[in-house]
Structure 1
Amino acid sequence: MRKVVFLFNLLIFNLFCQAQQNDFIIAENYFRNNEYEKAIQLYKKLYNQSPYNTTYLQKLITSYQETEQYITAENLLTQKLKEKPNLSYLYVILGYNFERQEKTKDANENYQKAITSINKKANYGSLIAGLFKNYSKLDLAIEAFNKTMEINPKANYGFQLAQIYGEKGNFEQMFESYINLVDKNENYLNNVKRYAGRYLTDDKENENNILFKKALLRKSISNPKDIWNDLLSWLFIRQKQYNKALIQNKALLARDPDNLDKINSLGKIALENKDYETAKECFHLVIEKTNYPKDKFKAINNNLKIAVATSQPDIDERFNTIFKEYGINSKTLFTQIEYANYLTFTKNNPKKAAVILENALTFTSSNLMKATIKLKVGDVFVFMGKFNKGLIYFSQVQTLFKNHYIGQEARFKVAQASYFKNDFTWAKAQLKVLKGSATQLIANDAADLFLTISDNEPKDSTDTGLKEYAKADLLTYQNKTDEAITILNNLITNYKGQPIEDEALFKQAQLFIKKKQYDQAILNYDKIITLDPKGIYVDDAYYNLAEVYNYELNNSEKAKEYYQKIIFDHPASIYLVEARKKYRKLRGDDV
C-alpha cells in the first residue's frame, strides 16, 4: 500500500513539475517578445508556487519594471526582505529598481547594503557580483568579487574579474587577473591561454601584447615560477618570435629535462614558418639530449629538410654521413624517405629514389609506415609520368586505410594522378567524396581541384584547354617551372575569353613569384582584375598584389590600396580578416 501511495505522489509531483515547465516556457516566450503583461501573470503564478526560485523572481521584477510598475516591484522585494532578511542579494535588485526611477541615492544605498552583507553572508557574494554584472554595474561587481575572495581565500573568481576588466576596456587589469589566476592554480593555464589569446595578435608592437608581456615579467620577478617561462614562450610563438620562445624553453630545459618535447614542437613550428635558424637549433638540442632514438632520428631528418630548403651545398654528403653512421635500416626510415624526396624533386633523379623506397619497404612491418612509404613511391612514379604505377600504390593505401587520414591523402593523390593523365571523370568522383569527409587541408585542396575540373571540363567535344592546364600543373609538380610558364602562356593566348584564362593567369602569376619575377606577377594579377571585376579570382588577385607590395617590394602605400580593395569591395572574401589586420598595421592603428 505504501508503495502505491509513493508512486501516486511521485506521479502527481512529476505532473506538477511538467506543468510548471510548460508555464515557464510560455512565460519566457512572452518575455522575449516584449509581451510583459502576459508574462507577469505566468511569472506571478510560478513565483507563488516556488517562492525561493530566484529566476522566477527576477523575471517577474523585470516584467514589472518594463511596464513601469516600479512600486509593485518595490513592494514585492521589500516584503521578501522582511520575510527573509538573509536574502541580501535582493538589495541589488531593489537598488536597480530605484535606479530605473532615477532615484540614485536610494539605489546606491541598497547597492552598498548588498556589498556590506557579504561580510556576514559570503556565500551570496558571487550571486551579488553576478547581478551587478548583469545590470552593467561593473565597478560594483569587481568590488563584490574582491570582497568575497578577501573573506574566503579559497574562493577564486579570477576569470570573472578578468572578463569584467575586459568589458571595461581595462586590459592591464584583465591580464593581471588572468596571471593571478594561474599563480593561484597552474591547472588554469590552458584556459588562461584561450581567454587571454582573444585579445592578443601576432604583432609584438600591439598594445595588448605589450601589456600582457609586462604583466608576466612583473609576476616573474615578484614570484619566480617555471609557468611564466611557459607563458612567455607561448606569447613569443604567437608573435612569431621563435628565437625568443627558444630562450624561454632553454631556461625551462635547464630545470626540467622533460621540456625537450616543447623544444621539439617549437622546432616544427619554426620549420613550418621558415625560421630555419631557430628550427635548426631546436633540432640540434633534441639530437644532443634526447634518450629516445625515434625523436633523435626525426630531428636529424628535420635538419636535413632545412638543408634542402636552404639549398646547402653539401646535402648529398650529409645524407651519406647519416647512412654511414647509423646504417640503412629501420632506424633511418624517415631519412631514407626524405632522401628519396630530395633525389626526386630537387635532383631530378626519380629512378634512384624509387629503388631506395622499394628497399625501405623491407625494413618495417608496420602497415602505417609501409603506407607512408608507398605514398612516396606513388609520388615518384607520378613525377616520372608513370601514372598507372603511381595509382597502384595510392589505391593500395586507400583500400587499407579507408577511414584514416592517410587513406584520405591517398584518395586525393589518386584524384590528382587521374587529373594529370586527363581522366577527369574519375578524378571528380574521388574529389567529390573528399570535399565533405576529409581533413580540412585535404578538403580544401580537393574542393579547389574539383572546381578547376568542373569549370573547365570539355563539353560537346569542345576543347576548353583543361588538358593543357593539367599538363602545366604536372610540370609545376615536377619543378619544371619555366616549362609550366610556357604552357600557361600558350593557354592564355589560345583560350582568350574562356573560363580557363583567369585560372591560367593566376597559376602563372604564382610561378612568377616563385622565380621572384614580381613585375610579371603584378601584370598577371592586373589582367585578372581587368578581365572580369566580379570574377572568382579577383579577391585572390587583390590580396596577392597587396602581399607582393607589402613583403617583396616594400611599398606600403600600394599594399594598403589593395588590402583596402578587399575590405570595401569584397567583404565576403576569405582574406577579409587578414587584409583588415594588415591594413590597420600599415596605417599605424592599434590592432
Structure 2
Amino acid sequence: MSLLHRILLVWALGGMAWAFPGHLQAQSDLELATYYYNSGAFEQARLYLDNLYKKDPSTYDMYLNTLLELEDFEAAEKLVKGRLKKRRDKSMAQVDLGSLYLRIGRAEEAQVAFVAALDALPTGRGSAKRLADAFIKLDQLDLALATYEKARDTGTDKYGYHYELANLQGLRGDYQGMVDSFLSLLGDRPNYLRTVQNSFNRNLRVSTDLRQADMVRRKVLKASQEQPEATVYLELLVWVFNQQRDFMSAVAHVRALDERKGEQGRRLMELAEVAAKNGDLDTAYECYALVSAKGVGSPRYAEARQAMLEVRTEQVTGQFPLDTAAALDLADQYRSTLEDLGEFPETAGLMAGWAKLLAFHLDDADAAQELLERAVDMPGTAKDIRSEMKLALGDILVFQDDVWSASLLFSQVDLDHKEGLLGQQAKFRNARVSYFTGDFNWAQAQLDILKASTSKLISNDAIDLSLLITDNFNMDTITAPMEMFARADLLRYRNRLDDALLTLDSLVVSYPGHTLEDEVLLIRGDIAKQRGAFDAAIGHYEEVLEFFAMDILADDALFQLARLYDTQMGDTATAQGLYERLLTEYPGSLYVVEARKRFRQLRGDILE
C-alpha cells in the first residue's frame, strides 16, 4: 500500500470516529453488558445496563433479568411499571409485573396483574399466543386457557384455537377437554387427523390404557353420529378400534367409509391385512368376504377370493390335531373358487395352496401332483410363477418319496434363478434332499453358501440344518446315527409319524447317550403337538430345556413351547412369559425376531 493510501485511510477512520463517537461507545457498552450478562457477572452487567436502557429500550429483558438475579426487586418493579406506562400493549408488561410479584411472594398482587394482562389482551392470534405462552411459562395454565378462550370469543376471524386449547388442556390434565378440542379441530381441519392420532397415543396411551381408550372411543362415536357427513370421525374411530386391537368392531365403520368414498374394498383389504398380521384371522376373513361379496365386477374380487382361502388355510392347518371335516370343506372351497376364477397364471398360487392341502393334510398326493403339473405346464405363465410351481411340485414329489425327480426340479429352478431368491429356495430344498438321503457333505457345502443369503428365512433355515449336521455328523466317526435321524426326519415330513417314531426309538436304543438325543426329543415334541397330545409335547420340550439348556436346540424347544401355549392351548399369559424368557436368555437365537413380534402383540402393541 502506498504512503498516500495509508494517509487517506487514517484520515477516513479518524473522521468516522469523530463523526460517530456516541454510537461506537454505545456499541461497546452493549457488547460488554451482553458479555457480562452471559457470563453470570450481573453486577458488572448492571454498570452498563443502567445507562444503556435509557438509550436502547430493546435491552429491557436483559436489564430486568439482571435486576431479578441481583434481587433488586424495588428497581425491577420500578422498571416494569415504567415500561407499563409507556407501552400501548400493556398485557406483556402486566405479565412481567405479575411474575415479579410472584417471585417476591406477593401472590395476590400477582393475580391482579395477570388479570389486568388478560383484560388488556389485544386482538390477533399473535398477541393471544404470546400472552398464553407467557402464562404457560409461569405455570398459570388456567389463565393461559382463559387467554385462548377470550381470543376465540372476541376475534373477528372465526379462528377456533382448537389446537392450542387441546394442547393446553392436555397440560392441565383435562383429557376429556383435550379430546373435545381435538374433535372440534378435526371438524374444521380434517387434515390434522395424523396429528390428533399422535397426540392420543402420546398423551392418552390409547393402545394400553383401556380407560382412556374407552373415553376416546365414546366421544369419537358421538361426534360421528352428530356429524355423519364428516368422514374424518369414522376414520378416527377405526383407528381407535385398531389401537385396542378390536379389529372386528372396526369392520362396520371401515365398510361404511369404503362405500361413502367409493373405494371398492380398498380399506377393507387393508384392515384385513392388519388384522391377519396381529393374529385376528376371523376378522381378516370377514373383511375379505365382504370385498368378495361385491361381485365379479369389483376390481378386487379375485384378490379377495384368493385371500379368503389363504386365511382359511392358515386357520384350518394351524390347529392340531387336524379337523379333517374342516380340511375337506376347505378343499371344496378351493375347487369352487378355481372353477369360478379359472386356471390361469394369476390363480397359480391357488392351485399350489390346494395341492399342498391335498398332499400334506388330506393324504391325496396324486391329485396334488396332477394339479401342480397342470400349473407348471400352463401356457403364458411368467418364468417366476412357473418356477414357484416347480418348487411346490418338488415338495409334493419329496412327500411321495420321489426325491430324485424332486431334486431335478429344484436344480432347474436353481439354474434359472442363480442370483435370485427363487434360486436360493431351490438350492436349500436340494440341500435338504441330500440331507434326507444321507449325503451330508454335499448338503453342508450348499448350506454354507446359503448362510449368507439376503433372505433371513433362508439364511436361518440353512444355519439350523448346518448346525444339525456339524454337531452330529462332522464330529462323529459313525455315520449310522445321523443317517437314521435324517430318515426319521423324512418320514415325519411325509406324515408317516408312526414310522418316524419307531426309527427314533431304534436310534436311541442302538446309540444311547448320542449327541442327537436333544434333537430326538424335539422331534418327538413336534409329533406329539401335531397329534394334539399337548401334555406329551410339553414334556418333551421341557426335557430339552432341563437337560440340554446349554445346547443349540434349547431356544428351539423354548420357542416351540411358547407357540404351543399361545396358539393351541390359548394360555397367552404363559406364552408371553416364555417369549420374554427366550428374548432374555437366548438373545442370539434365530427366533428372536419372531418371538419379539409375538411378545409385543400379546403385550398389546399394534403391528401395522
- Amino acid corresponding to residue 351 of structure 2 in structure 1: Q
Whole-angstrom CA distance in 2 between matches of 1:481 and 1:53: 89
Of residues 334, 344, 368, the one that matches 1:329 is 344
Partner of 2:384: 371
Q: Kindly report which structure 2 residues correspond to 1:105-116, keeping only aligned pairs within 5 A, or say none.
A: 105-116=108-119
- SS at 1:523's partner residue? helix
1:161 positional shift: 4.2
Which of 521, 528, 532 does residue 537 from structure 2 map onto? 521
> Which residue is 2:221 aligned to?
217
**C-alpha spacing 1:312/1:342, structure 2 compared with 1 (3 Å):** closer
Q: Name the structure 1 match of 2:413.
A: 393
Which amino acid is 1:458 matched to? T
CA distance in 2 between counterparts of 1:93 and 1:485 reads 85
- 1:338 and 2:353 aligned: yes
Shift of 1:462: 1.0
Aligned equivalents of 1:71, 1:409: Cα separation in 2: 83
Structure 1 stretch displaced more, 326-335 or 529-538: 529-538
Which residue is equivalent to 1:10? none
Number of the residue aligned with 1:123: 126
Deviation at 1:95, TM superposition (A): 4.7
Percent of paired sites with the same residue: 20
Match of 1:241 among 246, 252, 263: 246
Structure 1 570/387 Cα, relative in aligned 2: closer, same or farther at 3 Å? Answer: closer
Q: 1:291 to 1:255 in 2, by over 3 A?
A: farther
CA contact (8 A) 1:270 1:278 kept: yes
Aligned counterparts of 1:177 and 1:154: Cα–Cα separation in 2: 15
Q: Is residue 2:291 matched to residue 1:286? A: yes
Post-superposition CA distance 1:423-471 (Å, at most 9, x none) = 345434444352xxxxxxx54x356446646766627941499998888
Q: Is 1:171–1:211's contact at 8 Å kept on the other side of the alignment?
A: no
User: 3-state DSSP class of the match of 2:213?
Assistant: helix
Distance in 2 separating the partners of 1:116 and 1:532: 77
Aligned-pair CA distance for 1:123: 1.2
Structure 1: how far apart are the matches of 2:376 and 2:309?
Answer: 21
Q: Which residue of 2 aligns with 1:352?
A: 370
Unaligned runs of 5+ in 1: 1-22, 400-406, 435-441, 586-591
Task: Give, in angstroms, the shift of residue 522 of structure 1.
Answer: 2.8
Q: CA deviation at 1:139?
A: 3.9
1:257 Cα deviation after fit:
3.5
Contact 2:562 2:576 in 1 (8 A): yes
Letter aligned with residue 522 of structure 1: I
Distance 1:168 1:571 in 2: 42
Partners of 2:446 and 2:69 lie apart in 1 by 64
Partner AA of 2:387 in structure 1: K
**TM-superposed deviation, 1:355:** 0.9
Cα deviation 1:247-289 (Å, max 9, x = unaligned): 2234345544425221233344445556555444433432332
In structure 2, the residue matched to 1:299 is: 304
Q: Summarize the Cα distance change of 1:317–1:223 in structure 2 as closer, same or farther, 3 Å threshold.
A: closer
| Residues 1:461 and 1:546: Cα distance change in structure 2 (over 3 Å) | closer
SS at match of 1:363: coil
Normalization by structure 2: what TM-score?
0.65
Q: CA RMSD in A?
A: 5.5
Scaled by the length of structure 1, what TM-score is found? 0.67
Counterpart CA distance in 2 for 1:187 and 1:312 is 47
CA–CA distance in structure 2, aligned partners of residues 180 and 568 of structure 1: 46
Which secondary structure does the structure 1 equivalent of 2:254 belong to?
A: helix
- What do residues 364-398 of structure 1 show as CA deviations (whole Å, max 9, x unaligned)? 45xxxx42442342243245243463254256446
Counterpart mapping for 1:404-553 below 5 A = 407-408=420-421, 411=424, 414-415=427-428, 418=431, 421=434, 423-434=443-454, 442-443=455-456, 445=457, 448-449=460-461, 452=464, 458=470, 461-463=474-476, 509=525, 512-531=528-547, 553=569
Name the CA shift for 1:514/1:161 in 2 (closer, same or farther; >3 Å).
farther
CA contact (8 A) 1:77 1:94 kept: yes
For residues 72 and 497 of structure 1, the distance between their equivalents in structure 2, rounded to whole angstroms, comes to 91
Displacement of 1:479 in angstroms is: 6.2
Mapped partners of 2:273, 2:428: distance in 1: 29
Shift of residue 241, structure 1, vs aligned partner = 3.4
Partner Cα separation in structure 2 for residue 186 and residue 469 of structure 1 = 63
Within 2, Cα distance between the matches of 1:197 and 1:527?
43
Aligned partners of 1:105, 1:316: CA distance in 2, in Å? 81
The alpha carbon displacement at 1:313 in A equals: 2.3
1:313 is paired with a residue whose SS is helix
Q: 1:176 aligns with which of 180, 185, 194?
A: 180
TM-superposed deviation, 1:214: 0.8
Specify the structure having the higher radius of gyration (Cα). 2
SS at match of 1:432: coil
Q: C-alpha separation between the residues in 2 aligned to 1:469 and 1:113?
A: 88
- List runs of 5+ in structure 2 lacking aligned partners: 1-30, 317-325, 435-439
Contact 1:513 1:521 (C-alpha < 8 Å) held by counterparts: yes
Q: What is the distance in 1 between the residues matched to 2:77 and 2:502?
A: 83
Q: Tell me how far 1:299 sits from its aligned partner.
A: 1.7
Aligned-residue offset at 1:67: 8.9
Q: CA deviation at 1:560?
A: 8.8
1:232 corresponds to: 237
What is the one-letter code of the residue matched to 2:380? Answer: F
